[in-house]
Structure 1
Amino acid sequence: MAGSTNLKSDAIMEQMKLHISTDAGKQLKEKIGLVYQINIAPKKIGFNEKSFVVDLKKGEVKEGPYEDGKPDAIFSFKDDDFIKIATGKMNPQIAFMRGAMKIKGSMSAAQKFTPDIFPKPSKM
């Protein structure tokens, strides 16, 4: 039943799609130029994960695993932890040390995936 889960992170990924299509997104593409796959699990990393691809080569965000070879880095999170990192409430290095974020692939590519990639939460 993968992919049928609604995650709180879905809203952030929708904002990411818009963010990547702006001038700020074009700058990220020029600066980073890497492809990331983000796996988000409702409760436990590795179970019922939903995948998203943040492609900073093409400048797009889409749901589903990366299919053009291998992404530069793959991140795995629980839904709640992803929200905390994306909104700047949790430091990515601390998340990694605590096991709240798992990384596969190039560590140097992973280090370029910083909170600046995420759109700033709109104040409502």
Structure 2
Amino acid sequence: MAKSSELKSEALLEQMKLHLSSDAGKHLTKKIGLVYQLNIAPKKIGFNEDIYVVDLKKGEVKKGPYEDGKPDAIFSFTDEDFFKIASGKMNPQIAFMRGAMKVKGSLSAAQKFTPDIFPKPSKM
């Protein structure tokens, strides 16, 4: 069976690509200038993760591990928790303290990874 990862996060990251090519997105790239790798698991952190890179230096979102050295911070979470954090329904610090989000790399870089870097989900 083909592994079609129907992650909620995937749609959000697609929106992020478009967002980064807008003026608001270009402003983010200038302001933050960091690279994040997101390891997003369907159900349990560490299992069957999809890896995405949100490159706020180049203003890109790509599927697959980061290949230009090391990302500034690597986050691991489940699809559900990532979606809640990105949409502002869960505070990233609380997610981290509860173990819903794991972080490797620079903590100061990680602290700049906030819900306001994501485009607001359009109402359907």
When the two structures are superposed, what TM-score results if normalisation uses the length of structure 2?
0.95
Rounded Cα–Cα distance in structure 1 between residues aligned with 2:9 and 2:106? 24
Structure 1 position 46 matched with structure 2 position 38: no
Which residue matches 1:11? 11
Which residue matches 1:123? 123
1:22-37 superposed matches below 5 A: 22-37=22-37
Which residue matches 2:57? 57
> Any stretches of 5+ residues in structure 1 without a counterpart?
none
> Any stretches of 5+ residues in structure 2 without a counterpart?
none
Question: 1:47-80 CA distances to partner (integer Å, 9 max, x unpaired)?
Answer: 0000000001111001111011100000011010
Rounded Cα–Cα distance in structure 1 between residues aligned with 2:11 and 2:79? 11
Rounded Cα–Cα distance in structure 1 between residues aligned with 2:108 and 2:82? 20
How far 1:96 sits from its partner (Å)? 0.3
Which residue matches 2:66? 66
Rounded Cα–Cα distance in structure 1 between residues aligned with 2:65 and 2:48? 13
When the two structures are superposed, what TM-score results if normalisation uses the length of structure 1?
0.95
How far 1:4 sits from its partner (Å)? 4.0
RMSD (Å), alpha carbons: 1.5
Structure 1 position 96 matched with structure 2 position 85: no
| Aligned length in residues | 124
Rounded Cα–Cα distance in structure 2 between residues aligned with 1:9 and 1:112? 19
**Tell me, what secondary structure is at the counterpart of 2:82?**
helix
Rounded Cα–Cα distance in structure 2 between residues aligned with 1:29 and 1:62? 15
